[in-house]
Each structure stands twice: as C-alpha cells, then as structure tokens.
Amino acid sequence: MALLIISGVYAILIGLGIIGLWLMLILTKQVPELKSEPIAIKFHITAEITMGTLSILSGIFLLIGVSWAKYFFSVAMGLVIYAVINSAGYYAQKNQLSFVIMFGIILIASVVLVILNIFL
C-alpha cells in the first residue's frame, strides 16, 4: 500500500513539475526554439505536456485504487524515462550539470518505482 502512495504522489509531482516548468519557460520567454525551430519545439512541448498529464492521471489512479493503475503508471513512467534521458542530453550539451544530475535522479527513481510496481 505504501508503494502505491509513494508512486502516486511521485507521478503527480513529476507531472505537475513538467507542466509547471514548461509554463514558466514559455511565460518568461526562455524557449529560443520557438523562433529558431517553432514546429519541432511545439511538437516537443506537446509530447511533454501529454507526458505530464498522463503522469498526473496515473498518480491519481494509483491513489484512488483503480485496478489497472500500475499498468497506466508504467506507461506514464516510460514516457518520463524517455524524456529525462533526452533532456539530460540537451542540458549536457549546454554544460548545465545541475540539470543533468536532476534528470539522472528522476531517471533512477522512475526506473526503480516501475520495477517495484511490476514485481511487488
């Protein structure tokens, strides 16, 4: 039961964090790709907002005890895992080590929670 609560809260925080990050970056005009690569970045932002939304939903489903929530959580975390690997590369290219470390921590936590949810 504790694992489901931890996973649910984690998924909601990750979802809110990514959506909040993109809102902040857009509102403060910190997305230069909106001018240099507008189509590509709009697709990227859409994918990340979708990931955030699915993460939030998976967390809610876990917390309210939906029977298939673990599977939904695994899919949402799969999207998170892909995104943090991709984002770590973006920030590594910019020599922003703190972001790379943060994404590494999220990667490890997401993988561990998926494994625990599958096997426990």
Evaluate whether 57 touches 76 at the Cβ level (below 8 Å): yes
Evaluate whether 48 touches 22 at the Cβ level (below 8 Å): yes
Could you read off the pLDDT of 39-77 as tens digits, one per residue? Answer: 999 999 999 999 999 999 999 999 999 999 999 999 999
Could you read off the pLDDT of 17-35 as tens digits, one per residue? Answer: 999 999 999 999 999 999 9
Query: What is the predicted pLDDT for the residue at 64?
Result: 98
Percent above pLDDT 70 for the chain: 100
Evaluate whether 48 touches 90 at the Cβ level (below 8 Å): no
Query: What is the predicted pLDDT for the residue at 31?
Result: 97
Query: What is the predicted pLDDT for the residue at 65?
Result: 97
Average pLDDT over residues 83-91: 96
Percent above pLDDT 90 for the chain: 99
Query: What is the predicted pLDDT for the residue at 119?
Result: 94
pTM: 0.95
Q: Which spans in 1-120 are helix H?
A: 2-27, 33-36, 38-64, 69-93, 97-119
Average pLDDT over residues 111-116: 98
